[in-house]
Structure 1
Amino acid sequence: MTIREQTEQMQAENLSKYASLPQNSRGRERPVEDCPIRTAYARDRDRIIHCKSFRRLMHKTQVFLSPESDHYRTRLTHTLEVSQIARTIASALRLNEELTEAIALGHDLGHTPFGHAGERALKHCCPYGFSHPVQSVRVVEKLENGGAGLNLTFEVRNGIGCHSYSNPSAEGAALTLEGRVVYYADKIAYLNHDLEDAMRAQVLSEEEIPWTIKYDLGRTKSQRITALIESIVQNSGEDIRMDPTTGAAFKQFHKFMYDAVYTSPAAKGEEGKAQAVVEQLYAYFTAHPKELPQEYQQILKDSDEARAACDYISGMSDRYAVAIYERLYVPQPWSI
């Protein structure tokens, strides 16, 4: 037996009956020879970590645009925190950690520069609309590797595309429990780290956190994350769920963050400028599609300028988008 086959056998013997096994995967769009060491899901995880889109997450906004401190989260650090929380839950439930990690690491690959401000701008401009989970799937299927994509398994792509559905029990949820774990891990991560960043930025204080959230979830980030994870582990079986009290506190936590941080003028004061940058870049490249980089010229041939411009801009980091904007619209000094 190869090392991969031994790993698959151990997973079949030791994981939960609800876990997804790589040997039962629906497979890839293009069949490949099995790796003698890694399972299919471990291979997907590695492909994601080594792709260009993953590296660009380091310079993409999470909530606070272009923060001066090194301690604020970026889209990359958010992704790593989601992965850690998701793996903890998957391990406790004896689900497939490799699949869970692959989904978590890939879930935001299609996110725009400037966070949700950039997403709103492209959604407004592009006739195809824009959704970062859908774009993340497009990244791994069409845009990476010069148009060949990463050729990931169905289960990883499904989990990436379904990671932000509105209701964990509704149609459109991930088909695997591993994908549903990432749904919760994403929200547990961003609610807690965005709260920490907001307090560091003095957008809000600890005294403003509702008492019921402190009472039901905890006063510190560690206590809240632990309470949410424990509730999922203790109440999940054939589906991923929390107990009613913790679930209600989780919803209140989300509403509080939306009202106090995500729509706060202090945190979002620069978003109008960010949206304008994305909108003007989109307008320029749809009007001048021949100026798109070579790798997007094939998309232009296969689709149209709207699709190609959207793919190009959504993949930009914050600082690259600003640099291109300055090159196009800000007068440059004379070089003598």
Structure 2
Amino acid sequence: MNIREQSEMLEERYLCEYACFSKNTKGRQKFEEKCQIRTDFSRDRDRIVHSKAFRRLKHKTQVFISPDNDHYRTRLTHTLEVSQIAATIAKALRLNADLTEAISLGHDLGHTPFGHMGEHILNELSPHGFKHYEQSLRVVDVLEKGGGGLNLTYEVRDGILNHAGTMTASTFEGKIIKYADRFAYLNHDIDDAIRAEIIKNDDLPREYIKVLGDRHSKRINTLITDIINTTLKNKEVSMSAEIEGAMMGLRAFMFDTVYKKIGEQDKKVELVIEKMYKYYLENPEKMPGEFVNLLKNYDADTVVCDYIASMTDGYILKRFNALFVPQTW
């Protein structure tokens, strides 16, 4: 019995009946011999962490574009906070922490520069539409490793695709990510908005703060504790009506007061992304070779979206300036 097989045996002894066991994965799109040391899900986690797309997250906007303060979240720090929250929940419920971590680390790999503003604009420009969760799956299936993809397991891919909106992942581990994502961004966006002096702590609606807590750590603890206890009670990943209602009320407040204000930058972002999109659509050969090669199998709109979505905030501005801003002598 090798180390991986020992780990799989330990999963069967420790994890709960609702967990997704590594040995029961539905497998990869392309066959691979199993690792002698790592389970399939821990192997997927490592592939994501070592990917180029993961490294680029450190230079992509979470909410605040080009912040001049080192303590604002980026897409990478958001991802790490989601992973930490999801792992805490998974371990408490005795679910598969490796699978949970792999999904959480990969869930936002397809995000555009400039956060959801960039996603919205690409969705308007492309005739196929653009959703970051679909692009995240495309990153791990196609774009990484020069077009070869990471060849992840079905369960990780399913969790990445179904972490947002009304979609539902097929595993308990995948379902956790949707909640962990919301817990993370709601609370760290409050923290960043206060740091940016858009709101004050006293502006937060009292009826929701009374339920969730008056500090970042208290709110996170309340949300995590509630989903653990409610899931144990209902035998399904869920929250109590009171806590979820307060969370959604606070989320609505953030949309009305913070996200709407940040959205005032949409016109500037739209100018940059629209100009870049149209330029590369008309001149696809100007893209890097790895994207030009994709044109053999995919249409130009899809590949141009691939290229723009892969860009960091700084890189797209650098390319925009090089293409459209007159250079000094």
Equivalent in the alignment of 1:278: 273
- Which residue is 1:109 aligned to? 109
Question: What is the distance in 1 between the residues matched to 2:264 and 2:72?
Answer: 17
Q: Give the superposition deviation at 1:301.
A: 1.8
* 1:322 positional shift: 0.2
Distance (whole Å) between structure 2 residues aligned to residue 304 and residue 252 of structure 1: 42
The 5 A counterparts of 1:235-250 are 235-237=230-232, 238-250=235-247
* Stretches of structure 2 lacking an aligned partner (at least 5 in a row): none
After TM superposition, give the deviation of residue 302 of structure 1 in Å. Answer: 1.2
Counterpart position of 1:206:
201
Of the candidates 256, 260, 271, which is equivalent to residue 259 of structure 1?
Answer: 256
CA distance in 2, matches of 1:322, 1:233: 43
The answer to whether residue 146 in structure 2 is matched with residue 139 in structure 1 is no
Give unmatched runs, 5+ long, in structure 1.
167-171
Provide the rounded CA distance (Å) in 2 between the counterparts of 1:40 and 1:315.
26
Q: Which residue of 2 aligns with 1:287?
A: 282
Q: Distance in 2 between matches of 1:213 and 1:220?
A: 12
Aligned pairs for 1:2-41 (under 5 A) are 2-41=2-41
Deviations 1:176-233 (A, max 9, x none): 0000101100000000000000000000011110111111000000000000000000
Cα distance, 1:333 vs structure 2: 2.1
Quote the residue 1:118 is aligned against.
118
| CA-CA distance at 1:269 after TM superposition | 3.4
Deviation string 1:138-187 (CA, Å, 9 cap, x unpaired) is: 00000000100000000000000001023xxxxx3000000010110000
Alpha-carbon RMSD across the aligned residues, in angstroms, is 0.8
Query: What letter corresponds to residue 64 of structure 2 in structure 1?
Result: F
Distance 1:303 1:207 in 2: 51
Comparing 28-37 and 294-303, the one that deviates more: 294-303
2:77 paired with 1:80: no
Conserved 8 A contact 1:58-1:77:
yes
Shift, 1:31, TM fit: 1.0
Distance in 2 between the 1:156 and 1:308 partners?
A: 24
Is the Cα contact below 8 Å between 1:79 and 1:108 reproduced in 2?
Answer: yes
Alpha-carbon separation, structure 2, partners of 1:328 and 1:38: 46
Q: CA deviation at 1:247?
A: 1.2
Identify the residue that residue 97 of structure 1 maps to in structure 2. 97
Letter in 2 for 1:138: R
TM, length-normalised to structure 2? 0.98
Q: Partners in 2 of 1:173 and 1:272 — Cα distance? A: 33
Question: Separation in 2 of the partners of 1:175 and 1:165?
Answer: 15
> What is the Cα deviation at residue 268 of structure 1?
3.2
1:332 counterpart = 2:301: no
- Contact 1:120 1:275 (C-alpha < 8 Å) held by counterparts: no
Which stretch shows the higher mean deviation, 74-83 or 239-248? 239-248
User: Is the 1:122–1:129 Cα contact (8 Å) retained in structure 2?
Assistant: yes
Residue 299 of structure 1: aligned partner: 294
Per-residue deviation at 1:298? 1.9
> 1:34-82, CA deviations, whole angstroms, 9 ceiling, x for partnerless residues?
1111000000000000000000000000001100010100000000000
Paired residues in the alignment total: 327
Task: Provide the C-alpha distance between the structure 2 equivalents of 1:333 and 1:252, rounded to a whole number of angstroms.
Answer: 51
Q: Which residue of 2 aligns with 1:169?
A: none
User: What is the percent sequence identity of the aligned residues?
Assistant: 50
